[in-house]
Amino acid sequence: MATSCNTGYSEIAKALAGEAYDVFKYIGVGKGTGQGATHTKLSSECTETGLTRAAITPTSEKTTETDDTWQGINTFTATTTTTVTEAGAFNNATIDLGDMLMVGDLSPTAPMVKDDTLKVTLSVQLKASA
């Protein structure tokens, strides 16, 4: 289950107000857990080749209403043995920089060896709270 992050709300509000904002167009994966709404980065973002933060082309999708959901997808390819346990969406290409739109722990985790692939799909629906 993914959690929306406070810094993500700030950038969305800027976009709605017509102010300058940075597009969430990167996905990162990591080896930590437990990040939540107040966090701005992954616990331990991967730096291994093939698992570093990747540029994506985000889309708007339908969950309940047309175009009410931001979605980003990337397929990572491992070049070494590691276990991926978390993923997040960002508005900056550089590890530990930018704002985090959302974060989630992988369940189950993804143990990977050389040439394994991991397809990550992140989605966040914009809606009023109940």
Considering only CA atoms, which of 54, 55, 35 is closest in space to residue 43? 35
Q: How confident is the model at residue 128 (pLDDT cuts 50, 70, 90)?
A: confident
Let me know if residue 49 belongs to a domain.
Answer: yes
Provide the 8-state DSSP code for 99.
-
Query: Residue 69's domain spans which residues?
Result: 2-125
Which pTM value belongs to this model? 0.92
Let me know if residue 15 belongs to a domain.
Answer: yes
**Strand intervals (E) in 1-130:** 2-4, 26-30, 54-55, 59-61, 69-77, 82-90, 100-112, 117-125
Let me know if residue 130 belongs to a domain.
Answer: no
How far apart, in whole angstroms, are the C-alpha atoms of residue 46 and residue 28?
8
Let me know if residue 13 belongs to a domain.
Answer: yes
Let me know if residue 120 belongs to a domain.
Answer: yes
Residue 126: per-residue pLDDT? 85
DSSP string computed for 48-64 = STTSS-EE---EEE-SS
Give me the amino acid identity at 7.
T
User: Structural domain tally of the chain?
Assistant: 1
Mapped onto helix, strand or coil, the DSSP state of residue 32 is: coil
Let me know if residue 109 belongs to a domain.
Answer: yes
Residue 130: per-residue pLDDT? 62
- Dihedrals phi, psi of 65, to nearest 5 degrees: -115, 155
* Cβ-Cβ contacts under 8 Å for 54 (sequence gap 6 or more): 26, 27, 28, 74, 76
**What is the average pLDDT value for the chain, to the nearest integer?**
94
pLDDT, tens digit, 9 for 90 and up, residues 41-72: 999 999 999 999 999 999 999 999 999 999 99
Let me know if residue 78 belongs to a domain.
Answer: yes
